[in-house]
């Protein structure tokens, strides 16, 4: 309960700019969690091993993107006409590639905008500070100079608290997305090679 009280005071001290930042932190963590869940690879085995197991019918239930893509790719290759196999693989795997990118733009947007919203709060706090100095109202009801400076620092700090973890985790997830995209291409090539060798 004490944490909630301190958080409420912190948000109140930062001014109205803290509310969009608080909303953006929830949206950011939802998007990061969704991307983390969506970018699960599945089996630790290489793509070649998974395709070999699929040929022998030894594949288990898919636990991630690559497991699922191997099963789908091999199924398409087995049932498609040779001249249509590549196009059917590209169409089917296009859905995987779209799914892997979901919320990527949202994460990047929040990471860029959060420090700017924090900076807006800083400017508002500094305006209040200079306004207090101009009217010589050093100890006003709204906090005067100290209130304006604290508002400026709180919003800057909170903007960075939103953005920095988003940058770090967003980059890690982008790297995982790139690895999975490359593996999806490899699955298509190996599945077609299997069809040609049958």
The overall pTM is greater than 0.85: no
Q: Is residue 64 one of the residues assigned to a domain?
A: yes
Residue 100 lies in a domain: yes
Residue 20: give the domain boundaries: 16-197
pLDDT of residue 180: 93
Tracing tokens 């001249």 back to the chain, one arrives at 83
- Give pLDDT, residue 71: 87
5 occurs within a structural domain: no
For 45, the 3-state DSSP assignment is coil
- CB contact at 8 A, 113 and 106: no
Q: Which residues contact 29 (CB under 8 A, 6 or more apart)?
A: none
Is 4 part of any domain?
A: no
The answer to whether position 11 is within a domain reads no
CA distances from 185 to 81, 92, 121 (A): 20, 12, 46
**Count of structural domains, the chain:** 1
Query: Is 2 contained in some domain?
Result: no
pLDDT at 27: 96
Residue 10 lies in a domain: no
> One digit per residue, pLDDT tens: the chain, 198 residues?
787 787 777 777 777 888 898 899 999 999 999 999 999 988 888 888 888 887 777 767 778 888 888 888 888 888 878 778 888 888 888 888 999 999 999 999 999 999 999 888 888 877 777 776 666 655 544 555 555 566 677 788 888 989 999 999 999 999 999 999 999 999 888 888 776 555
Is residue 8 domain-resident?
no
Determine the pLDDT at residue 113. 94
SS3 140: coil
């Amino acid at each position: 309960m004490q944490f909630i009280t301190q958080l409420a005071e912190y948000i109140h001290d930062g001014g109205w700019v803290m509310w969009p930042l608080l909303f953006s932190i929830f949206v950011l963590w939802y998007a990061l969690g969704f991307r983390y869940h969506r970018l699960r690879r599945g089996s630790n085995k290489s793509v070649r091993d998974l395709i070999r197991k699929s040929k022998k019918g030894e594949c288990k239930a898919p636990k991630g993107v690559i497991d699922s893509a191997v099963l789908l790719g091999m199924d398409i290759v087995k049932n498609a006409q040779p001249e249509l196999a590549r196009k059917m693989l590209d169409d089917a795997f296009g859905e995987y590639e779209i799914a892997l990118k979901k919320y990527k733009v949202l994460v990047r947007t929040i990471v860029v905008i959060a420090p700017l919203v924090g900076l807006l709060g800083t400017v508002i706090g500094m305006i209040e500070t200079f306004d207090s100095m101009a009217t010589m109202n050093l100890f006003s009801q709204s906090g005067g100079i100290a209130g304006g400076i604290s508002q400026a620092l709180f919003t800057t700090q909170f903007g960075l608290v939103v953005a920095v973890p988003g940058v770090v985790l967003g980059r890690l997830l982008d790297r995982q997305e790139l690895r999975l995209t490359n593996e999806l291409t490899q699955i298509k090539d190996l599945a077609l090679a299997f069809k040609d060798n049958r």
